[in-house]
């Protein structure tokens, strides 16, 4: 994976996390929910 791919994946995860935290709040958000929203593995 090159630097551009890593940067793109990072932005994808951060954007998804922002949306999930806004919808569910900090206490209502799990790693599994974040991973699912970002389309990545939570393992």
**pLDDT value at position 27?**
97
Cα 17 from Cα 1, distance rounded (Å): 22
Cα 28 from Cα 24, distance rounded (Å): 5
Handedness of CA 25, 27, 28, 32 (dihedral sign): positive
**pLDDT value at position 25?**
97
Task: State the pTM of this model.
Answer: 0.80
- Per-residue pLDDT tens over the stretch 2-41: 998 899 999 999 999 999 999 999 999 999 999 999 999 9
**pLDDT value at position 11?**
95
Q: At 7, list the tokens.
A: 């940067």
**pLDDT value at position 15?**
97
């Amino acid at each position: 994976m090159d630097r551009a791919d890593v940067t793109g994946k990072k932005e994808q995860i951060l954007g998804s996390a922002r949306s999930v935290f806004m919808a569910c709040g900090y206490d209502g958000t799990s790693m599994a929910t974040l991973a699912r929203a970002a389309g990545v593995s939570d393992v």
